[in-house]
Chain A
């Protein structure tokens, strides 16, 4: 279970969803760090190794899609999952590795993250 010790950076401006998402991922065995904005996430990512960034798209200031672009620019091997409740794929979403709807649910979220982390190149 090498991947279970992977480090995931969770980004969301809302507290409850952020905390619950962190707990779900921790339960799945990951090490989870949280950030409340894209700016904070970029600071953390520059100071330590991150395997995967799970970010909400709609946030005040820098959006999730823009965060994905900046993360990939600095560290192309870091996986980025863009999460959103919107019904259209946001502009620039293809900077992320995958785009996920929030209604997919925790099981699906964990499965997709696991698949992404075990894919070659990680």
Chain B
């Protein structure tokens, strides 16, 4: 419906001649002119059509103008319909007309002046048209508002589902830093409610050691309007803490004012653990290198001293007592030599690997330990499913199994079972084929706090008896074969058990010794 189109003007008079004359007067307005011969007819027209202006004679036979006006006004739809009375000016009429002053009511006295009637009708028609335009505009606006509201609802719903689907904990805060919204993951992780954690309540989830620093950091950064970042541990619903990287960005309105902060917390616990493990392994590697350097520096004077005592020990000028001292010194020197040899035993006795049978090496080691096995009352259970021939260096492999089996025997001073198995196996990390040796003992087990450290250099549970190098060296040797060495230990009331598992690939991918030989030829 166009708002420029003609509006309806209803003319009510019981005299057809008057209706005709009004029609003639109003025709130039270009509006649509409707005629009614009585009040009843007028009401029918009003109900059927939208009427902008009612032009009525006050004196009509069945329902007079005032009665008709009252009836029109009673109807809610017509309360604002403009009414123009046409009447002879009677005092009574003027008084009654005043009663309508609040509405769009006017009157014209007879004789009707055509220009005046035309002007008045035109004003009301125009008013009606304008009102209608305004209403139409309002309707459109309301429609727009409804549409926008729906869009916002949708985008809000989209935002929420997005915010809940990300792996991070997400939140929004007011410009003053007080949080008013968290995503579902926050509640899932913390087990807390919005009431408990909104505003600054989230501080209760923060590790107490970090509260002061984090809050201060937030306040400083946010008052400057800059993006914020920090890392700290947050308590989960199970009470344990995990590390999070928290970041927040200011959200600005069109004029650049910060209206809210949007933040995420990313779980970096594993990354942190990896970093720590890396630092730890680098530290261990450095310790290993240091041990090697020190041992090497000791070797030169050690050889000279050993030779000197070797000569001194049998020297004819020595009496029995002096010879005893020299003997003691020689024995202690052998201990020093043993330590440096352990540390330096990365050296290989030959340059080319040879065919080595692991079953033979294990038998050899067990033979060396046979007296101890017997003395301690240890039952030996051997199970070889293969001869276990690989390319390698027998001395260092023997050292590996001597270390592990020696530890197992020492862990069972008052008897137990030692099970040694050799079987073909596959490296779970990469699917490579190879051989696995498992050495199981029913000894004292490995304490959880020691488990992390048993491969560290100079770590020993044997008090003064051990160098703390055995397993560290064993692992170094097995790693040269691109193999693995692992263990599991259980300490239960009904008995303890420890199992070491050594995996050696059937063939090495790289053979550094060959490269050395090739470099020499070149």
Q: Report which A residues bind B (CB closer than 8 A).
A: 14, 16-17, 20-21, 23-24, 27, 85-89, 91-95, 99, 101-103, 105-107
Contact = CB atoms under 8 A, between A and B. Distances in A.
Interface string B493-522: 000000000000000000001001101100
Contact of B311 (A27, A87, A88, A102): A27
Contacts of B345: 87
Contact of A87 (B303, B337, B347): B347
24 contacts: A17-B307, A20-B308, A20-B311, A24-B311, A27-B314, A86-B296, A86-B347, A87-B295, A87-B343, A87-B346, A88-B346, A89-B348, A89-B513, A91-B519, A91-B520, A92-B520, A95-B520, A99-B349, A101-B347, A103-B303, A103-B337, A105-B334, A106-B306, A107-B310
Interface of B: 292, 295-296, 299-300, 302-304, 306-308, 310-311, 314, 334, 337, 340-341, 343-349, 351, 513, 516-517, 519-520
B300 A20 contact: no
- The A interface, classified by DSSP as helix, strand, loop or mixed, is helix
A102 B299 contact: yes
Looking at B300, B341, B513, which has the most chain A CB atoms within 10 Å of its CB?
B300
Given A87-B344, A103-B337, A103-B344, A23 B300 contact: no
B300 A14 contact: yes
B351 A23 contact: no
A19 B360 CA distance: 42
A104 to B, nearest CB: 8
Contacts of A99: 349
A89 B351 contact: yes
B518 to A, nearest CB: 11
Contacts of A17: 300, 303-304, 307
Contacts of A89: 347-348, 351, 513, 516
- The B interface, classified by DSSP as helix, strand, loop or mixed, is helix
Contact of A24 (B295, B302, B307, B337): B307
Contacts of A27: 311, 314
Contacts of B295: 87
Contacts of A85: 296, 299-300, 303, 344
Contacts of B302: 102-103
Given A102-B302, A103-B302, A88 B307 contact: no
A92 B308 CA distance: 30
Contacts of B520: 91-92, 94-95
A20 B520 CA distance: 32
A113 to B, nearest CB: 14
Nearest to A83: B303
Contacts of A94: 351, 517, 520
Nearest to A106: B310
A91 B337 CA distance: 24
A106 B333 CA distance: 12
A103 B340 contact: yes
Nearest to B512: A88
A107 to B, nearest CB: 8
Nearest to A85: B299
B310 A24 contact: yes
Contacts of A16: 304
Contacts of A23: 307, 311
A28 to B, nearest CB: 10
A93 B513 CA distance: 11
A87 B344 CA distance: 5
Contacts of A87: 292, 295-296, 343-347
Nearest to B306: A105
A21 B314 CA distance: 16
B351 to A, nearest CB: 5
B341 A101 contact: yes
Contacts of A91: 516, 519-520
A17 B300 CA distance: 8
Contacts of B308: 20
Given A17-B304, A88-B347, A93-B351, 9 more contacts: A23-B307, A85-B296, A86-B296, A87-B296, A94-B351, A105-B306, A105-B334, A106-B307, A106-B310
A17 to B, nearest CB: 4
B327 to A, nearest CB: 14
A103 B302 CA distance: 7
A103 B314 CA distance: 20
Nearest to A22: B307
